[in-house]
Amino acid sequence: MDEKKYLECEKYYVFLLLIFVAGFYGGFTISVKGGSFANAQTVNIALLGIAIGTRNFSSALSIFLSIGAYFIGTIISEQAAWLISKKRLLRWDTILVFLDMLVITTLAIAPIHTPALIYSITINFLCAMQFNTFRSAEGIGMATIFITNHVRQTGSFFTRWMRKPYEKTYLKKWTRHGGMIVSFCLGAAFCSLLGLKFHTKVLLFADIPLFIIFINLLRADLTTERLLLGKRVPSGH
């Protein structure tokens, strides 16, 4: 499919910026404040089991709340996308990015003594909604908050491309998944570096890529894709 035929929310650059932000969130909740890995729940469930096994029940409760926030975020994003599509005003994808900016800005300017659990729960919630909303970039299934599958897909399609270098599809897929890995790593690196100086206010830097995405999605909703609202849904939904 020609790139022009993809919705703006399906463009690869959107996914690159989103996973950069996800890396930023991961770096924040691990190295700055949060105490857990907000992007995916495998680690958190393992930590929950460890906390229960070592009878550290206060820690277990905190981790459980973070996992619960992720679960609730998935439910809300699924329902919100369905309800908003009927209004045909804006796409849920656009609204979600705006909400991300609003919430992240609030966390960034929150008092320094705000409990780490608040950051962890909130970012888990946002990550769940983002994961459930953005699913496919220009026909390639992609996650925008963690890289486990990107590592697998990069290796898989790289191997196929080595066997059949004339297959441009394999080249495209392994380089695009690889690009997502690099972008995620850069996000975590920038957050960890800037967090040393700005502490929780470092989250304001995440607003920059989010703002770029929001403006482009909003413009598409109001102009080029106006007639497609409510009629065409992003791939993967």
pLDDT, position 236: 62
Residue 69 domain-assigned (yes or no): yes
pLDDT, position 33: 84
Q: How many domains does the chain have?
A: 1
Q: Which domain holds residue 96?
A: 14-215
Spatial separation of the C-alpha atoms in residues 225 and 213, rounded to whole Å: 15
Residue 5 domain-assigned (yes or no): no
Burial group, residue 35, by CB count within 10 angstroms (0-12, 13-18, 19+)? middle
pLDDT, position 34: 64
Residue 119 domain-assigned (yes or no): yes
SS3 137: strand
Token pair in block for residue 19: 């996973």
Interacting residues of 51 by C-beta distance below 8 A, sequence separation 6+: 57, 59, 60, 63
Locate all alpha helices (DSSP H) within 28-89, ordered by sequence.
Answer: 42-53, 57-87
Residue 88 domain-assigned (yes or no): yes
Q: Which of the residues in the chain have pLDDT under 50? A: 1-3
N-terminal to C-terminal alpha carbon distance within the chain: 18
Hey, how many other C-beta atoms are within 10 angstroms of the C-beta on 201?
Answer: 16
Burial group, residue 137, by CB count within 10 angstroms (0-12, 13-18, 19+)? buried
Residue ranges of E strands in 66-211:
136-137, 140-141
- Residue 234: closest CA among 159, 149, 137, 160: 137
Residue 3 domain-assigned (yes or no): no
pLDDT, position 229: 85
Residue 7 domain-assigned (yes or no): no
Residue 118 domain-assigned (yes or no): yes
Q: Which pTM value belongs to this model?
A: 0.90
- Residue 2: closest CA among 172, 139, 110, 146: 139
Residue 4 domain-assigned (yes or no): no
Q: Which amino acid is at 104?
A: I
